[in-house]
Amino acid sequence: MCSTSGGMAVTALSSRYLTKAKDVPGTLECLAQLFMITAVVMVGEGGGATQPVAWMRGARRAAAQDLLEQLSGQPLVERIILVSPEPLPVAMVDHVPSPPGPIHVGRRLATLVEEWTIDRLLYFGGGAAPLLDETALSNVVARLAAADQVVITNNQFASDWAGVTPASILSGWIERLPQDNMLGWVLSAEAGLPIHALPAATATRLDVDVPTDLLLLRLHPATRPHLRRYLAGLPLDTGRLERALAVLATPASQVFIAGRIGPEAWQALNRATRAWLRIVSEERGMVSSGRQARGEVYSLLADYIDMIGLEGFVATLSSQAQAAFLDTRVLLAHHGRWPSEADRFASDLGLVEEISHPWLRAFTAAVMAAPIPVILGGHGLMAGNLFAFCDLL
């Protein structure tokens, strides 16, 4: 018989408790009835019109396969649903077909919650957690199982994954959740759920979002098997990134970082390096807060580049730093520009000839010609990538 008194069984849940519970006949079946967790992993189609887009999509699918296998080993995850155009070769996973192209995350999750009667939802984007280890995942699952009301996420301001209970709350916030990075902020700050954000670290902040993530995961020793094999087969050039890392590793070197960098990543770099860091932190949360959608993004760096010109900016940057890391999405959003995914990814990889957008092509060409290594990317470069740099250093 399954029962709890005063939440005793709930508050006792922990990864250590779950390990012991495996040895007690019927215990896990009882817990599954009481705290039934449904994991949902969303991943898009493979392939793409350009190589960088195809590489990113393939990497997300490989990372999703690793994640599905991890979730299959979690005793309190009673169901696993893969939402994707095509299934992945993982046993005991329910596949819900989705059309190719972008998914409205809030609408899709709310539909799944209703159709599958989900109370405790553990959602992941396909490339959301390539370095999340078993212990951390077990702790997330146990906390979600133990809570009556909570949103658990890797990042309150830009979520890549989230555990939500009661999951029915999603139906009231569908239109505020077109993307998954809004889950933590909207469900806590606006919907009022108690928030538990995991401490900022490589495993919680790194996801497969932009090509610089692929370069980094190619170098990182903790990359999981399916993703590691996939990346090993790609013609990725990590040379520029390795040169930038060598600068970070050099005492008294000068490094410039600009974009949506948070204090945790900055502090981690300070602990891991002896470099002098020049930081411009701006427009954190521009997507989840809705500022980008409303055209309210403002960047001091973008204004400075407009005033001095691309050549002047590169000359100044090269005279004041020996390596630079730039979040180009803030610069683009400042001017209301948003080139195609193919253009943004080609820019991140320095593939100037593959960029059709005039400004982004000119900007990428200018910084690639700089005498210092300049690493381009999006939010992930300012978060998970910087933490992973500390691991490598």
Residue 289: its pLDDT value, please?
Answer: 81
Residue 49: its pLDDT value, please?
Answer: 81
User: Domains along the chain?
Assistant: 8-201 (3.90.550.10), 237-392 (no CATH)
Global confidence as pTM: 0.86
pLDDT band of 368, cuts 50, 70, 90: very high
Contact 372, 318 (CB under 8 A): yes
* pLDDT of residue 252 exceeding 70: yes
* pLDDT of residue 25 exceeding 60: no
Tell me the CA distances in angstroms from 147 to 16, 46, 166, 334, one per residue in order: 17, 36, 9, 40
* pLDDT of residue 242 exceeding 70: yes
- What's the whole-number average pLDDT of the chain? 90
- Beta strands in the chain, from DSSP E residues, in sequence order: 37-42, 77-84, 94-97, 120-125, 150-153, 161-165, 195-197, 254-259, 276-281, 323-327, 374-377
* Cα–Cα dist 309/321, whole Å: 18
pLDDT band of 34, cuts 50, 70, 90: low
Q: Identify the residue whose tokens are 């350009």.
A: 50
